[in-house]
């Protein structure tokens, strides 16, 4: 898929007050913004129009815009997060998303985070995590199945979200750690397996023929280089402190 637009949100100065399971210390808000703007520069360099929404200090995780919404060619889905403090973020995104897609707003009967939603062609793989459950998957499936999409649950034992560790990088290829290599759900894919100590680099983005990955993971970078696509690296140290990664920072369509 060729992307033409991304929606992002400026990190709030109190972004360190957000949710995290990491123990690497609090992020520096100034450095967080520096890394965010470099992310924006990369998107612009790759030919994408960027929308930057204003910071939302009442929602210190709101710059992780991937979690409260999923964008398909046919519609946009506002998700229902499993984290109470983030459940207002979808309503903040809705006015912007309505400019581009019809909206479906999920109910509160289940929970689903966009970071658990991995799309490969017309097949959704949805991570079962602390943020996403089967009730959320079932509601999501009732919306997307009539549009021709398949939906498969994937048990996630490590990482905050499925896409924290597993990502589709085109050409029927998934990037992942060894823990996911043998899962039957992924049997039909070419699987590029990265070291467990570089698991964070599993969150690599394919953007218009270029792979964008976090810096500091040399083994993964060499694996991707051998895959034959250009690779761009970005310092994401401050986002990592908040369980954040590259895909979290934008809605791409």
Task: Label residues 111-135 b or e (16+ Cβ within 10 Å = b).
Answer: bbbbbbbbbbeeebbbbbbebbbeb
Nearest C-alpha neighbor of 234 from the set 6, 80, 32:
32
Q: Is 15 a catalytic residue?
A: no
What single string gives the DSSP state of each residue in 16-45?
GGS-----S-PPPHHHHHHHHHHHHHHHHH
Q: Is 161 a catalytic residue?
A: yes
3-class state of residue 78 by DSSP: strand
Task: Give the separation between CA 232 and CA 253, rounded to whole angstroms.
Answer: 20
Sheet with 69-71, side-by-side order of all strands = 69-71, 76-78, 103-105
Which positions ≥6 away from 160 have C-beta within 8 Å? 21, 115, 129, 130, 131, 243
Nearest C-alpha neighbor of 136 from the set 154, 113, 119:
113
Catalytic positions are 161, 248
């Amino acid at each position: 898929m060729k992307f033409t637009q991304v929606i992002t949100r400026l990190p709030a100065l109190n972004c360190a007050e957000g949710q995290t399971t990491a123990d690497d210390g609090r992020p520096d808000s100034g450095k967080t913004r520096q890394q965010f703007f470099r992310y924006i520069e990369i998107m612009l360099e790759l030919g994408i129009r960027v929308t930057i929404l204003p910071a939302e200090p009442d929602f210190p995780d709101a710059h992780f815009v991937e979690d409260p919404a999923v964008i398909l060619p046919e519609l946009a889905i506002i998700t229902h997060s499993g984290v109470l403090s983030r459940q207002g973020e979808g309503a903040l995104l809705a006015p912007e998303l309505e400019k581009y897609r019809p909206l479906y707003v999920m109910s509160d009967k289940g929970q689903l985070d966009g970071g658990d939603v991995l799309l490969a062609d017309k097949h959704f793989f949805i991570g079962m995590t602390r943020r996403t459950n089967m009730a959320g998957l079932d509601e999501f499936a009732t919306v997307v199945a009539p549009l021709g999409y398949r939906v498969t649950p994937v048990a996630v034992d490590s990482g905050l979200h499925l896409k924290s560790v597993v990502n589709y990088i085109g050409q029927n290829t998934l990037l992942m750690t060894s823990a996911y290599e043998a899962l039957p759900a992924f049997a039909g894919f070419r699987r590029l397996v990265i070291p467990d100590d570089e698991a964070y680099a599993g969150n690599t983005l394919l953007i218009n023929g270029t792979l964008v990955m976090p810096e500091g993971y040399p083994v993964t970078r060499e694996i991707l280089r051998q895959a034959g696509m250009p690779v761009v690296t970005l310092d994401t140290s401050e986002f990592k402190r908040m369980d954040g990664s590259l895909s979290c920072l934008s809605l791409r369509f």
